[in-house]
A and B are shown apart, each in its own frame.
Chain A
């Protein structure tokens, strides 16, 4: 079985401050992990993915995530938030099944 828990439904930051979006997963096998971003009324866009290579994964728009097997975590970070980062973020796991399991999402709010 596989599952994903996004620990915060909403995160608020000021422009220029660091971003941390937390994700924990449960998996019976070595997982592939993904972070997607969704702007209002749009489809999902891939930010980055982990597939058992380097544990620190760099993605688009300055985001990165670190796979920590001992903590079963895959938190998403960015050193400095931009207004354009305001969106909903989804952590996703695939443990070798045919399908993905999505977290419930974290809404990132960025204030000037």
Chain B
């Protein structure tokens, strides 16, 4: 079954804790992206990676970190430095990083900080 897997679906964290969100894909896509979604805000880009072992900051990277050690995986760590981490997090992939290509989205992880 091809696609993008995000786990867990729901995640609860205490303030001051780091937490890692998983994103795995078996589409053989080169590019992967992390977005944050808040009500009425649309999607905002956190980090993206166009090739293994390389990634770039998006518009709201502060308080987040990523790695891209394998083509299939692009985990996102939400650190304690992120002031307001409660949000819906979406991972996306793109076959190649071209303006003509659409992005494909995973089902999302809802993070709640208690």
Contacts and interface: CB of A to CB of B under 8 A. Distances in A.
Nearest to B107: A43
Nearest to B50: A98
A94 B99 contact: yes
Interface stretch (A44-52, A62-70, A72-80): A44-52
Given A32-B99, A43-B108, A44-B105, A102 B42 contact: yes
A102 B43 contact: yes
Given A42-B108, A43-B108, A99-B48, A32 B100 contact: yes
A25 interface: no
B68 interface: no
B42 A42 contact: no
B103 A103 contact: no
Contacts of A32: 99-100
A13 to B, nearest CB: 20
A44 B102 CA distance: 11
Size class of the A contact interface (CB-based, 8 Å): 20 to 34
Interface in A31-61: 31-32, 34, 36, 41-46, 49, 51
B41 A104 contact: yes
Given A90-B42, A103-B42, A104-B42, A41 B99 contact: no
A32 B102 CA distance: 9
Given A41-B110, A99-B58, A105 B105 contact: no
B34 to A, nearest CB: 11
B65 interface: no
Given A32-B99, A34-B102, A46-B102, A99 B45 contact: yes
Contacts of B95: none
B72 to A, nearest CB: 18
A46 B97 CA distance: 17
Contacts of A41: 88, 108, 110
